């Protein structure tokens, strides 16, 4: 039975929360009195359905059910997680919590998307204050993993642990803010940068476009992968942070910034900034800009996945969970029916796998088949621990047939057969499908080697036994059409 999340407030943030839960297999119930709420959330979902699966190298679960409701009471019925994303008015939030708590389960978690209010303010006058905490996300919620989880002493350790568990289960990163403060942690940095940017525009030092270029061409990229303090630790060279602080600490006394001052927020400043912003990017619609943003974020976060660093490490952990939840084999003993081809890859086609024709580029077919070979190696016992002992497989020959095309967001699956395994050689046959449509086949010969001599070497007994079990179980399958072909051979 699907888990249930209730979304109270279906704006940009609420819609992002709905997408994050829905695409992770949760049923989502939404309340928003705005008559346009269903249309707005549908547009957010359309973007999320294209971009979010591209973060994962394992297919997301089947999408949950999305329903819209006329009352808060109907919306929170049976919900395990209730996310409040109403406008930033404390009186409105407190009224909403009273209505939620009158109808929700006593053990449901009520998270607030507030970017500024402290949890103690949100808990004021509540029937069950320990049920409410701040769970502040970042836009787009369906891509960015950070959640600032801000509790108070009223929240039990069990509630905090359950909240962290849910946040992690949907592929996000729970940052436990141990001391409540206005605007939490991240938004305080954003407000400082925003304040200084307003002065730079007002004083005629820089335009909105020039400020954006300074961020995205420079420190923004560094911060995205290493944060603030690690960036400056590296900047200190071999002497590290102490050297950096000694070198640049005195600059804190110089009048470089106006962090404690605010320009007068009048119509003149608003018109100046809005005009420059329109000139900078007014040729694009907001939906076009959202798609560009999403594609860029997915591409950058996938690069971090390859390094298993920062947000990429969070995504990699989520991939392991998705694979386990989907029942994909991790070891030979996990294979439900070894007489059938083994599913070794199940994933969506991400943005960085496309070519100039708008479909999956040919090198990514090999990428997917290489991932399938790696998974089969893990299944038979050639994992990282085994490789550390000095044994592994090298690919000796590959033949790929490109049969049909596939596009961004398409869910692909690779099914693998062991055609032969004896001595030092493993002969694999991969078939790539999108649903029932065959996209490509890959035939691969791999040689087991000693990493010490870099020469062929016999399998270990465990690998030999697992390969024999799979190949014998699959020996009754018909010979795959196309096996043994050479390049250019007529069909």
List, as residue ranges, the binding site for NAD(+): 9-14
Residue 482: count other Cβ atoms within 10 Å of its Cβ.
16
Residue 211 parent element (H or E): helix 208-214
Q: Are 104 and 78 in contact (CB under 8 A)?
A: no
Residues tagged in the binding site annotation: 9-14
Give the sign of the dihedral formed by CA 148, CA 154, CA 155, CA 157.
Answer: positive
Alpha-carbon gap, residue 160 to 131, rounded angstroms: 10
**Sheet containing 81-84, strands listed edge to edge, beginning at the edge strand earlier in sequence:** 66-69, 27-31, 4-8, 81-84, 109-112, 132-136, 146-150, 173-176
User: Sign of torsion, CA 14 16 19 22?
Assistant: negative
93-126 residues labelled b (16+ CB within 10 A) or e (exposed): beebbebbbeebeeebbbbbbbbebbbbbbbeeb
Q: How far is CA 429 from CA 23, 365, 397, in A?
A: 31, 14, 12
How far, in Å, CA of 387 to CA of 365, rounded?
25
Judge whether 291 and 47 are in contact, CB under 8 Å: yes
Q: Are strands 437-450 and 391-402 parallel, antiparallel or unpaired?
A: antiparallel
Burial of 270 (0-12, 13-18, 19+ CB in 10 A): exposed
What residues have CB less than 8 Å from 481, skipping those under 6 apart?
Answer: none
Q: How many residues does the chain have?
A: 491
Sequence-ordered list of residues with C-beta below 8 angstroms from that of 253, at least 6 positions apart, any chain: none
Q: What's the chain's Rg over C-alpha atoms?
A: 27
């Amino acid at each position: 039975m699907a888990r249930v999340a209730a979304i109270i407030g279906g704006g940009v943030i609420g819609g992002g929360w709905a997408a994050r839960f829905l695409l992770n297999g949760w049923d989502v119930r939404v309340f928003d009195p705005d008559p346009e709420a269903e249309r707005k959330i549908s547009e957010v979902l359309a973007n999320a359905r294209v971009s979010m699966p591209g973060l994962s190298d394992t297919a997301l679960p089947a999408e949950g059910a999305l329903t819209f409701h006329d009352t808060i009471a109907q919306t929170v019925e049976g919900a395990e997680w209730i996310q409040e994303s109403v406008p930033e008015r404390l009186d409105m939030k407190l009224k909403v919590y009273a209505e939620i708590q009158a109808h929700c389960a006593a053990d449901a978690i009520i998270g607030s998307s507030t970017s500024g209010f402290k949890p103690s303010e949100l808990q004021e006058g509540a029937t069950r204050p320990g049920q409410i905490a701040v769970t502040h996300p970042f836009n787009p919620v369906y891509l960015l993993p950070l959640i600032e989880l801000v509790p108070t002493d009223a929240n039990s350790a069990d509630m905090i642990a359950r909240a962290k568990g849910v946040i992690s289960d949907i592929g996000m990163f729970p940052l436990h803010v141990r001391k409540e403060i206005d605007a939490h942690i991240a938004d305080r940095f954003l407000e400082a940068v925003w304040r200084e940017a307003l002065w730079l525009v007002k004083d005629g030092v820089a335009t909105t476009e020039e400020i954006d270029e300074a961020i995205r061409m420079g420190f923004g990229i560094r911060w995205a992968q290493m944060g603030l303090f690690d960036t400056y630790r590296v900047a200190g060279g071999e002497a590290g942070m102490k050297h950096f602080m000694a070198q640049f600490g005195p600059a804190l006394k110089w009048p470089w910034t106006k962090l404690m001052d605010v320009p007068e927020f009048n119509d003149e400043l608003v018109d100046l900034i809005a005009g420059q912003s329109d000139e900078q990017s007014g040729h694009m619609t907001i939906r076009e800009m959202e798609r560009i943003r999403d594609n860029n974020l997915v591409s950058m976060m996938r690069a971090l996945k390859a390094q298993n660093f920062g947000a990429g490490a969070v995504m990699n952990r989520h991939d392991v969970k998705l694979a386990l939840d989907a029942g994909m084999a991790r070891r030979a003993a996990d294979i439900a029916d070894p007489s059938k081809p083994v599913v070794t890859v199940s994933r969506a086609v991400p943005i960085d796998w496309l070519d100039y024709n708008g479909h999956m580029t040919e090198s990514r077919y090999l990428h997917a088949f290489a991932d399938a070979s790696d998974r089969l190696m893990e299944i038979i016992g050639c994992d990282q621990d085994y490789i550390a002992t000095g044994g592994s497989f090298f690919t000796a020959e590959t033949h790929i047939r490109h049969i049909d095309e596939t596009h961004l967001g398409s869910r692909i699956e690779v099914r693998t057969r062991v055609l032969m395994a004896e001595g030092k050689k493993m002969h694999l046959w991969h078939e790539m499908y999108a649903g029932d449509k065959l996209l490509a086949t890959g035939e691969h010969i791999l040689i087991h080697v000693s990493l010490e001599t870099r020469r062929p070497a016999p399998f270990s007994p465990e690998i030999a036994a697992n390969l024999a079990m799979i190949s014998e179980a699959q020996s009754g399958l018909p010979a795959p059409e196309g096996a043994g072909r050479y390049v250019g051979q007529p069909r």
